[in-house]
Amino acid sequence: MAHDERRLEVLRAIVQDYVSTNDPVGSKALADRHDLGVSPATIRNDMAVLEEQGYITQPHTSAGRVPTDKGYRLFVDRLSAVKPLSVAERRAIERFLDGAVDLHDVLGRTVRLLAQLTRQVAVVQYPTLSRSAVRHLEVVQVSAARLMLVLITDTGRVEQRVVDCPADIDAGAVAELRTLLNSAFTGVKLTEAGDKVPDLLETAPAHLRGLVATVSSTLLETLVEPSEDRLVIGGTANLARGNALDFQGTVSPLLEALEEQVVVLRLISEVDAGTVLVRIGEENAHEALTGASLVTVGYGSADRALGGLGIVGPTRMDYPTNMAAVRAVARYVGQILAES
Amino acid sequence: MAHDERRLEVLRAIVQDYVSTNDPVGSKALADRHDLGVSPATIRNDMAVLEEQGYITQPHTSAGRVPTDKGYRLFVDRLSAVKPLSVAERRAIERFLDGAVDLHDVLGRTVRLLAQLTRQVAVVQYPTLSRSAVRHLEVVQVSAARLMLVLITDTGRVEQRVVDCPADIDAGAVAELRTLLNSAFTGVKLTEAGDKVPDLLETAPAHLRGLVATVSSTLLETLVEPSEDRLVIGGTANLARGNALDFQGTVSPLLEALEEQVVVLRLISEVDAGTVLVRIGEENAHEALTGASLVTVGYGSADRALGGLGIVGPTRMDYPTNMAAVRAVARYVGQILAES
DNA sequence: GCTGGCACTCCGACCGTGCGAGTGCCAGCA
DNA sequence: TGCTGGCACTCGCACGGTCGGAGTGCCAGC
């Protein structure tokens, strides 16, 4: 029906205008700014229907309309085309990310870039340990009965733990241990590291067996558990800027949730590489986020997402542009990490 | 003179009241809440003098007085005793920091603890590389002509760099290189690492000399330079809470400065272990910080500060309590890092 | 099914007023 | 000489009423 189609067109226009002006949008303003081909009165009828269906709402009688979460959802799902980035923007991304010296640096640059591009809070997850593989394991003797274990993953992430051993260890044992561990674990995915332990224990020479057991258990406990997945956050100043109005006055619950990390981490890690995921307002179960939207995507190669990244902002955001930015940045980051 | 002394007492009372109520404080309120032993009229005379001397000011005629930066400075230098922490607080510090598994974890806990204790933004600097010594150097072959260098310092910090080599390398050379580097650098302070290079080059077997030169130069360039000193920031939600009023409405320049890191880093690294340093408002050269105060201190053993930590908040803050908290936390962190 | 017109609603900006807190000054007192 | 109570004055701010404009819903006509 041409009828329904125009109504959706009206919704799209409302979302676009509201996002750019931050004022509730009325029928007359809509008719002026968009070529809908009908009069304000007709638009009013459409708006009444859209309101009844729950896509828009008025803050108070005799004010313009504002999209609801449901309205944004429909807009994102059906009414928006992902806006391709400008050449300048693509170039900026490349320039920004080139020359990073290590993983920490790559992710730091990424988060700054994303925050700058979208003018929202940017969030980048460290490559998940559980999806990485062991590149190298290093054992360093710290004191007589103390070892430091350093794990280097194929994604460039480095993790360390100190292990207290029951008895003193001599340097030769450390070297042997290093060789043993590396031959057992190098190239093995962290999720599968546990399977290798029985084998390892069996093949280990008797005098090392206790040591190997202690070290392996620390390794599994502390490194394979995904508890320690980290998050880099940037652009929080964007919250405090004009956007403060979008969060009924105070941004501090949101800042707290961001610092808490765990909530955002859970949301951001539920992603596939390639498909941008948008969560709008109330769709976020967590209370502090009900006024916010998340735009997230996984990075890494298609078959193997290393982690997630994205942005957090008010529901009133420019979804098409932000989705494009998030996707493009994720693509570049994936490339860079694949190279190293 | 008893005269001057009472005037200072008045200033102290003004600072205390203003910090706790956030209202400009008038002569009558002062007389009511403090046992100054004189009438409001007398206090008014004292206040007039204090204002003339620049220690207090009125936001507008016929409002109470508010301390100026100079007033806070005098208060901090001469009028406040550092308030000892309660037993509960000391216990909280211990509880909070115990059970940290690695450096990252220690600093993360520290920043959360400090933010919670002071209700301000907390900032912790990673142990400065230049003041650390090498505990171990690890060399991992990433691909035929690529090595990854992992540096572990005695403060538990781990740094990594990828080195591109001019020619392919075989596994034996990597092992030799590892031994060479460790015997040359282990235990050496990073600041003095440069001095060891000539020796190292001389003693290296001819076939490794090129490789050693490449690797050493990367090592020096990227690791000894203090450019990469890192900062952990937490408690930014405290800015957005009530404190927003203290920063003429917007906290976003301050958030930007914090994310920038470099400014704060410079300020925070100018510290001695043990003596708490307070910078008030305009004393901070950087524009974004002129409305803020910093309370910083170094952590580490007395003879060797590893880094700085502190808080950033409005000039209107509870200096005695915050100074005590910052000092206590720094002491515990120093202890914990010394142990590992 | 669209359109112009019309009556109605209601927010928010504007303005004027009054109150209260706080001040400076002065004359009197120890 | 220094403190005190009293008094007139100032000024910001909260309060309440008014007015205009933007926007709506409804209706009759095309």
The answer to whether A253 faces chain B, any CB pair under 8 Å, is: yes
Which nucleotides along chain C are within 7 A of a protein C-beta?
Answer: 1-5, 8-11, 20-26
The per-residue pLDDT for range A218-236, each reduced to its tens digit, is: 888 766 655 557 899 999 9
pLDDT at B251: 85
Contacts of B150 in chain A (CB under 8 A): 138, 150, 152, 158
Amino acid (one-letter) located at A224: V
Interface contact flag, B160 A102, Cβ < 8 Å: yes
Tokens (6 digits) for B247: 């920063």
CA A131, A136, A139, A142 torsion-angle sign: negative
What is the distance between the alpha carbons of residues B53 and B14, in angstroms, rounded to a whole number?
15
**pLDDT score for A162:** 84
Mean pLDDT along residues A20-29: 92
Hey, CA dihedral for A267, A268, A271, A275, is it positive or negative? positive
- Identify the band that residue B152 occupies on the pLDDT scale cut at 50, 70 and 90: confident
Interface of A with B in 88-117 (CB under 8 A): 101-104, 112
B121, B294 Cβ separation under 8 angstroms: no
Residues 22-51 of B near strand D (Cβ < 7 Å)?
37-42, 45
Bridge partners, A309 (sequence order): A124, A297
- Whether residue A236 lies within 8 A of chain B, CB to CB, comes out as yes
Q: Which of A112, A142, A252 sits opposite B237 (nearest CB)?
A: A252
Joined tokens for residue B4: 């001057």
pLDDT for A222: 67
For the stretch A266-287, pLDDT in tens is 898 887 778 999 999 999 988 8
* pLDDT over 70 (residue B315): yes
Please, what is the average pLDDT of chain A?
Answer: 88
Phi (first) and psi of residue A35, to 5 degrees: -85, 75
Give the whole-angstrom CA distance, residue B23 versus residue B19: 8
Distance CA B206, CA A256 (A): 58
Nearest residue: Cα versus C1' of D3 = B42
Residue A42 in tokens: 């007709």
Q: Are A247 and A258 in contact (CB under 8 A)?
A: no
Q: What is the pLDDT of residue A223?
A: 64
- The residue in chain A having the minimum alpha-carbon distance to the alpha carbon of residue B239 is A252
C-alpha torsion angle, residues B196, B202, B205, B208 (rounded to 10): 60
In the predicted model, what is the mean pLDDT of residues B251-258? 90
A160 at the B interface (CB within 8 A)? Answer: yes
CA-to-C1' distance for A68 and D30, Å? 36
* Domains, chain B: 1-78 (1.10.10.10), 87-127+229-339 (3.30.450.40), 130-224 (3.30.390.60)
Write the single-letter amino acid at A330.
A
Measuring CA to CA, how many Å separate A136 from each of A21, A23, A132, A295, B135?
A: 53, 56, 12, 34, 18
Q: For residue A92, with 0-12 CB atoms within 10 Å meaning exposed, 13-18 middle and 19 or more buried, which class applies?
A: middle
Handedness of CA B100, B103, B106, B111 (dihedral sign): negative
| Distance in angstroms (rounded) separating the CA atoms of residues B283 and B289 | 9
B43 closest-nt by C1' vs CA: D3
Q: What is the pLDDT of residue A224?
A: 60
Q: Give the CA dihedral B254, A114, B125, B78, nearest 10 degrees.
A: 0
* Protein residues closer than 7 Å by CB to strand C: A 3, 6, 37-42, 45, 60-63; B 23-29, 40-41, 44, 47-48, 51, 58, 61-65
Predicted local confidence at residue B242, as pLDDT: 66
pTM as predicted: 0.87
Q: Is A148 in Cβ contact with B152 (below 8 Å)?
A: yes
A149/A220 Cα distance (integer angstroms)? 12
